Amino acid sequence: MKSFEYVIKEEVGIHARPAGLLVKEARKYASKIILHKDGQEADATKLLTVMGMGVKCGEKVKIEISGEDEEKTYVDMLRFFESNL
């Protein structure tokens, strides 16, 4: 399992558009991608669950990645967060 923490910089947080981009990206990988914030967790491939976390700008999330392609998924998801969120 690989993981990283990230502070959200997108001013609307992980709301509709950014959440949709995240879900679309997460669905490209075989590995399971889980977002954690304040004791909540969400499968990154499930739009309503991700949006339901209510992640706002400036909040820290932890992303856990596990599965057969976790190395590539880790690198790509870290790059995605830095570029989009």
Which residues form the catalytic set?
A: 15
Measured CA to CA, the distance from residue 25 to residue 64 in angstroms comes to 15
Tokens representing 76 are: 């790509």
Burial tier of 77 (Cβ tally within 10 Å: 0-12, 13-18, 19+): buried
